[in-house]
Amino acid sequence: MIKFSIRGENIEVTEALRSYVEDKVAKIEKYFHADQELNAKVNLKVYRDKRSKVEVTIPLGSITLRAEDISQDMYGSIDLVVDKIERQIRRNKTKIEKKNRQKVSTSQLFTEELVEQVEEEVKVVRTKQVDLKPMDLEEAILQLELLGHDFFIYTDAKDSTTNVIYKREDGDLGLLEVKS
- Which H, E and C letters describe 112-160, residue by residue? CCCCCCCCCCCCCCCCCCCCCCEECHHHHHHHHHHHCCCEEEEEECCCC
Per-residue pLDDT, 97: 55
Q: What is the CATH number of the domain that holds 101?
A: 3.30.160.100
Query: What value does the mean pLDDT take over residues 102-129?
Result: 60
Of the candidate ranges 43-47, 80-84, 111-115, the one whose mean pLDDT is the lowest: 111-115
Per-residue pLDDT, 115: 46
- Structural domain including 99 reads 2-109
Four-point Cα dihedral 111, 112, 116, 121, nearest 10: 70
pLDDT tier for residue 101 given thresholds of 50, 70 and 90: very low
Four-point Cα dihedral 139, 145, 148, 151, nearest 10: 60
Per-residue pLDDT, 110: 60
pLDDT tens-digit map of 124-166:
878 877 778 888 998 888 888 877 788 989 999 998 899 999 9
Same domain, 68 and 140: no
Same domain, 9 and 83: yes
Same domain, 11 and 91: yes
- Residue 37, pLDDT > 70, answer yes
Per-residue pLDDT, 129: 79
Q: How far apart are CA 109 and CA 93, in angstroms?
A: 9
Per-residue pLDDT, 169: 82
Would 116 be classed as within a structural domain?
no
Same domain, 91 and 15: yes
Q: How many Cβ atoms from other residues are within 10 Å of residue 135's Cβ?
A: 17
Domain count across the chain: 2
Q: How many Cβ atoms from other residues are within 10 Å of residue 106's Cβ?
A: 17
pTM of the model: 0.57
